[in-house]
Structure formats: structure tokens, C-alpha cells
Structure 1
Amino acid sequence: MRHHGEVKIAVVQTASSDDKAANREAVARLVGEAARDRPDLVVLPEAMMADFAVAGGSVGALAEALDGEFVGVLRKAAAEHGTAIVAGMFERSCDEDRPYNTLLAVGADGELLGAYRKIHLYDAFGYKESDQLTPGDVSPVVVEIGAHKFGLMTCYDLRFPELSRALVDAGAEVLVVPAAWVRGPLKEFHWSTFLTARAIENTCYVAAAAQNGKKYCGLSQIVDPQGVGVAAVGEDDGYATAELSADRLTEVRKRNPSLQNRRFTVTPR
């Protein structure tokens, strides 16, 4: 039994494909496997509904509404296993060729808690995500699961510390980071460094679930407010769990009151 103020999170690592039915089956199976450890939240990767198209391609035809089949599977799995779920999908927008890259949060009762549409699109390292997708509004999205607040951000958002700070200012105790972090020279180093930095500078937990395989680096992990890795998955499919403590968060923020000591106040444009 968990103590008051503790929350258990599972980060799941796998690779999606362009076969949406197979991805839905994988979601049901993976949530069921992670649920054996009785987590309060299961975090699945970015683009779990369907993988990105190749450069020059389109994911428009794959996109769904928030009451579509993919969300239906998330809601059913959450209610069946009694756990909240966060997962990535492509959501229809007003531009049928450029949907949103959306994180959906579902409560343990199967009800929708919130949706975050990726703000920073991956127009870097020779790729241009904005050719396929529409950016979301510049506004932090925080959802409550039990007595805890979780800030939602996606992959490339990690390179913009102002978003994580805005989420923490909005009350987030945990940054939830689904990703499909593309492999490449120094990219894995960047991934782990950013996750650790966002935890340390905001004195908060970070829970990151990444795609793996030939395209993406994997390395899903959970980092505590001092930058200590408390759970990790390597390169293979799997999941890792950790119990996050409100007492640990309070103790770290008392010892390192950097949020209180700020002199600059940054607000989103």
C-alpha cells in the first residue's frame, strides 16, 4: 500500500507503426501489462496512435477526433485497469492535411482529463514537422490525477525550458513527456541531459515515455527533483515504474528553493 502523497507512474516504451488497428491492440496489451504493478498513471509515447509519415508525407488521413477509435481504446483500458493514461495521437484540426500532435490524458474512470496540442514542432535536424502538423496554442496544460498535478509536454518541447517553467508555475509537480526522439549523433545525450535539466531547474519529477526501434532512441525514464534517475528502460520494448513522493518534492524544494529565488518572471507569448 502506498503512503499518503505517493503516486506510482509507469512509463511504457514501444514503437508504433502506420497500422492504427495494430497500434490500438498494442495499447490495450501494454496498459494491461503495466497495470500488473498497479500504477496510478501509465504514460505511453508520442504518436502512439500512428507513426509519423516520412519527410514530405502526410498524416492527415490518419488523424482522428477526440471521440474516435484511438481515444475509445484509451478510455476502455483506463476504466478496465483503474489507471489514468497519457498517450500521443494525431487529432483533426481545421487543416485536414495538418492535424494536431496531441497528448490525451484519460482518468482512471475513463473520463477525459485534458488534451495538449504540441506547441513546438520539430523543424530541426533536417526534419520539418510543421509540414505535417499544426502547432497548438501557446498555453500550458496541467491535469489532476488524484491529489497530484501533471504538466503535459511532447518531445521537442524539452528544448524550450520556458514551457516546463510555465507548467510548474501552473502547479505541475510532474512533467509528463511522451516522445518519439529521433536517433542521431549526440541525440541520445541531448535527450537524457534535457530530462535531467528540466527536473533539476524546476525541482520537479519528470516522467518520459519514448518510442524506440530503428528511428527513435528509446531510453524512457523517470527522474526525481534532484536529477536522480529512479527508473529506466533501455532500448528494448518494456516499461519501468517508480513511486513519486510529495514529501521528497517538498524536501528538495526546501533545500533548493530556486523557484522562490527567481528574479525574472517569464510569461508565454
Structure 2
Amino acid sequence: MNSLCVAAIQLTSTKNWRENLAQVKELVGLAVSDGAKLVVLPENVFLFNGKGMRRLAESNDQVFLLNEISNLAMKYSIYLVVGSHPSLLRPSGDVVANGRVRQTCWAVGPDGTFIERYDKIHLFDVTVNDKAASYKESDVIEPGELALKVIDVDGFKVGLSICYDLRFPELYRELTRLGAEVLLVPAAFTYVTGKAHWDVLLSARAIENQCYVLGIGQCGWHNETRQTYGHSVLYAPTGEHLANLQEDPGYFVLTITKSALNDCRQKMPCFSHRRIT
């Protein structure tokens, strides 16, 4: 197909997964009514609570949630990408050790099948000048294997990543080498780091890889200390800004085309000009 209608869903998720699920259902329904065929949810979409990840992953609620995700994709016959969700099991089937989880990006097909998973590679262990002051994801999350994932969505090759991955350009260069034409970055950027770096990093990944880049963010205050940036956005392969949200929950829908992608790559054939590979 030459075109694909994509949607970004922006949320202020909390530790109450039932409320988060209700918001997702509402916004996905609205996006589909506007024509979306690929709908992407942000990082931590159903649970914004690091300390509760393992508990949810071990509970019966986990089975219910995964069924709801499958049913939602099947109900609307869409590709649904869950930005991240805690997984108790590694892809091998082994249980994650030391009370941690994998932070998994799930891609679900129109028939409700979980067609691919990507486990977050880069973990956010940093100091930030905000109310939280410091973050250490590795306390509750086990990094995934170095296994990059590209899926087919109605003829478009779509590369998966999560949040902090955005700061590592070699990951996206490899996704492009694997054929990616669209790069997904579901995220929960802090307000401070988002304001400083979110747009410039996303636009750079689009320009240097000549791909569409869709950044899907959490927004607002999730608790007393955690504020995220929002500003979900879609960039063209040329780096052109195509659509965006601000700092409130919501969604946007936009159609991307192969012709624009191919035109960009043909006029400026950067891939064939590379001297360092």
C-alpha cells in the first residue's frame, strides 16, 4: 500500500490500570473513527508505577489486560502498539529474576494476535533537575537482549523502540538497515528532559535515517514528583513537522505515504553515500 493512517495516543497514566484502560479505549475509538489503522500508545500506558510493575505482571489482572488489548485490536481491525507494559517472562519463557520485569513494547495485529515484542534495551538511570531528582529504572526493570524488531504494517516497515532508546542513534541506524521506514518512539520523557531534547532528538532520527518518526508521549503530573512532557509528534523523513499535541491527553491521526518517503530518499540518497557502516 502507498499510504497508512497512523495515530498517536497521549495520556496521563497513573497507578490505577483500570482507569488507564478506560481512557485508552475511549481515545482508540476516537482515533479509529478518524480513520486510524495503526494506533500507538505511550510507554507505561496501563501502569505508571515502577514499584507496582512486578505485582501486576504476576497477577490475574495481567491476563485480563492482555486479553483486553487483543480484543481492542480485533474489535477495530487495527494494528495496536502498546508502548510498554511490564512482562514477567523473557522471550525465552524464563521468569525475570530479582523481582524485576521486562519493559515490553507489544505489537498486536488486526486479528488480536500478539505479533511481536521488543524489550527495552536502554534503561533510564540518570539524575535530572526536577522534583524526582534521580531515576533508576534498573532497580525494577531488566534490560532486553540486543534484538531489534521491525514489523510489517500494511506494507510499511515499522521499527520498535522505547523512550530512552531515543538517545542512542545507532539503534535507529540498525533499524533502518533492517528496512524500517517508520520509527516508533513511545515514551514517558520527564518534563525537564523533554523540553530540552524531545523534539530535536526525534527530528534528528527522522533526518539522519530518512524515516517517518512518531514520538508518543505521556503528559502531565502522574504523582507528586513525576511530570512528563507530552508533545507527541510526527516527523517526515525530511525532518518536516507534520502533526503534534501539547501537554494534555488526546490524540492525532495523520496519513503517511510511501511516495513522500521514496521521494526523499531518491533526491538525497544518503544510504548510498555512507562511508562508515
TM-score by length of 1: 0.91
| Alignment match of 1:200 (pick from 176, 201, 207) | 207
Per-residue deviation at 1:58? 5.2
Moved >6 Å (runs of 4+):
none
Residue pair 1:46, 1:178 contacting (<8 A) in 2 also: yes
Does residue 34 of the first structure (1) align with residue 31 of the second (2)? yes
The one of 59, 62, 87 equivalent to 2:53 is: 59
Residue equivalent to 2:14: 17
Q: Is 1:174 the counterpart of 2:182 in the alignment?
A: yes
Amino acid at match of 1:137: E
Q: Distance between the aligned counterparts of 1:259 and 1:251, measured in 2?
A: 14
Aligned to 1:235: 247
Indicate the SS of the match to 2:115.
strand
Residue number in structure 1 paired with 2:92? none
Q: Which residue of 2 aligns with 1:160?
A: 168
Secondary structure in 2 aligned to 1:110? coil
Out of 238-247 and 198-207, give the one that drifted further. 238-247
1:188 aligns with 2:195: yes
- Counterpart of 1:210 in structure 2: which amino acid? G
Deviation at 1:21, TM superposition (A): 1.8
Name the SS of the counterpart of 1:102 in structure 2.
strand
Matched, 1:45 2:42: yes
Per the TM alignment, residue 207 of structure 1 is displaced from its structure 2 partner at its CA by 0.9
- Contact 1:6 1:243 (C-alpha < 8 Å) held by counterparts: yes
| 2:113 aligns with one of 111, 129, 143 | 111
* Structure 1 range deviating more: 215-224 or 81-90: 81-90
Instruction: Give the structure with the higher percent helix.
Output: 2
1:225 corresponds in structure 2 to 237
| Aligned counterpart in structure 1 of residue 74 of structure 2, from 56, 79, 82 | 79
Structure 2 alignment gaps of length 5 or more: 90-95, 128-133, 222-226
The letter for the 1-side match of 2:10 is Q
SS of corresponding position for 1:63? helix
Equivalent position to 1:130, from 113, 124, 138: 138
Q: 1:247 maps to which residue?
A: 259
**SS class of match (2:173):** helix
Measured after TM superposition, the shift of residue 217 of structure 1 is 0.2
Aligned-pair CA distance for 1:174: 0.2
> Contact 2:79–2:110 (CA<8 Å) still a contact in 1?
yes
Once the two structures are TM-superposed, the CA of residue 165 in structure 1 deviates from its matched residue by 0.8
Superposition map of 1:251-262 within 5 A: 251-262=263-274
Q: Is the 8 A contact 1:27 1:74 kept in 2?
A: no
Cα RMSD (Å) of the superposition? 1.7
Runs (5+) with no aligned partner, structure 1: none
User: C-alpha distance in 1, partners of 2:88/2:184?
Assistant: 23
Amino acid paired to 1:241: V
Contact 1:100 1:133 in 2 (8 A): yes
CA distance in 1, matches of 2:200, 2:158: 21
In the superposition, the TM-score normalised over structure 2's length comes to 0.89
- 1:219-266 Cα distance to aligned partner (Å, 9 max, x none): 00110001111111111111111111101111000111112211222x
Q: Is the 8 A contact 2:35 2:253 kept in 1?
A: no
8 Å Cα contact 1:152-1:175 kept in structure 2:
yes
| CA offsets 1:112-139 (integer angstroms, 9 cap, x no match) | 1201100001112321111110000112
Q: CA deviation at 1:148?
A: 1.0
CA distance in 1, matches of 2:173, 2:248: 31
**SS of 1:190's equivalent?**
helix
